[in-house]
């Protein structure tokens, strides 16, 4: 009887220790994965962006080919582009495109620079529809019709597309052409002006 009590005590202690370490390890991994990653939305305004990312940015305004003017807010690792009529950019104008070159930023889709390209494209295929190009009369393997979560958490269609640029190559036309170690160099979310 005494041996059974000792064995029961040891098993219970091991279970408690295992659960404790598993929970703490899981919290640590979650904290490390979310550490310093800033989640943005294409529905954010200039004011929202400055509140989220701060005043340490460069602002450039130029004349565009398809729009009156566009203003770029350039932070370290991300450029956010706003189109507008001639004059000053309103603080309430929402983003028209985003060019991400750092793993410090993501959007509601949670893709980050440095991520394995094949894994990201497979995730995109489960969430989005491949973009269609009328010029080539085909669906593109790595450009998707972008959807984003609204404030309720529902995935909704947007006017944007999402495209990746890669570290090893470009112009891939099928998944079989991607090297298994290909990673994302740039994430580009943009409105197609066709």
pTM: 0.76
**Is 28 in the same domain as 54?**
no
**Is 56 in the same domain as 31?**
no
**Is 19 in the same domain as 5?**
yes
**Is 20 in the same domain as 44?**
no
- What is the tens place of the pLDDT at every residue in 47-56? 999 999 999 9
**Is 99 in the same domain as 14?**
no
Q: Which CATH number goes with the domain that contains 174?
A: 2.60.460
Query: Would the pLDDT of 97 be above 90?
Result: yes
What is the average pLDDT across 167-193?
90
pLDDT for res 2: 54
The rounded percent of the chain whose pLDDT value lies above 70 is 80
What is the average pLDDT across 106-113?
85
- Between these two residues, 99 and 107, which has the higher pLDDT value? 99
pLDDT band at 1 (very low <50, low <70, confident <90, very high): low
**Is 52 in the same domain as 12?**
no
What is the average pLDDT across 30-55?
82
**Is 105 in the same domain as 170?**
yes
pLDDT for res 194: 59
- What is the tens place of the pLDDT at every residue in 112-140? 999 999 999 999 989 899 888 888 888 88
Provide the domain limits for residue 43.
38-191
What is the average pLDDT across 172-187?
92
Query: Would the pLDDT of 30 be above 70?
Result: no
pLDDT band at 153 (very low <50, low <70, confident <90, very high): confident
**Is 21 in the same domain as 42?**
no
Q: What is the count of structural domains for the chain?
A: 2
User: Secondary structure of the chain in the HEC alphabet?
Assistant: CHHHHHHHHHHHHHHHHHHHHHHHHHHHHHHHHHCCCEEECCCCEHHHHHHHHCCCCEEEEEECCCCCEEEEEEECCEEEEEEECCCCCCCCCECCEEEECCCCEEECCCCCCCCEHHHHHHHHHHHCEEEEECCCCEEEEEEEEEEEECCCCCEEEEEEEEEEEECCCCCCCCHHHCCCCCEEEEEEEEECCC
Q: Chain-wide mean pLDDT for the chain? A: 81
**Is 19 in the same domain as 87?**
no
pLDDT for res 190: 93
**Is 59 in the same domain as 127?**
yes
**Is 97 in the same domain as 81?**
yes
**Is 18 in the same domain as 53?**
no
pLDDT for res 32: 33
What is the average pLDDT across 68-85?
93
What is the average pLDDT across 14-25?
39
């Amino acid at each position: 009887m005494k041996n059974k009590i000792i064995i029961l005590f040891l098993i219970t202690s091991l279970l408690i220790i295992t659960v404790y370490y598993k929970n703490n390890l899981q919290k640590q991994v979650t904290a490390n994965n979310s550490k310093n990653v800033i989640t943005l939305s294409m529905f954010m305004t200039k004011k929202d962006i400055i509140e989220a990312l701060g005043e340490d940015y460069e602002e450039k305004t130029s004349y565009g080919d398809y729009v009156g003017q566009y203003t770029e807010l350039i932070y370290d690792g991300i450029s956010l582009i706003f189109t507008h009529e001639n004059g000053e950019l309103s603080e309430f104008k929402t983003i028209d495109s985003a060019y991400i070159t750092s793993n410090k930023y993501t959007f509601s889709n949670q893709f980050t620079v440095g991520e394995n390209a094949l894994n990201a494209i497979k995730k995109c295929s489960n969430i989005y529809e491949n973009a269609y190009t009328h010029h080539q009369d085909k669906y593109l393997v790595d450009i998707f019709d972008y959807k984003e979560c609204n404030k309720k958490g529902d995935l909704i269609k947007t006017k944007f597309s999402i495209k990746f640029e890669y570290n090893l190559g470009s112009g891939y036309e099928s998944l079989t052409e991607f090297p298994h170690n290909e990673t994302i160099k740039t994430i580009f979310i943009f409105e197609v002006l066709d």
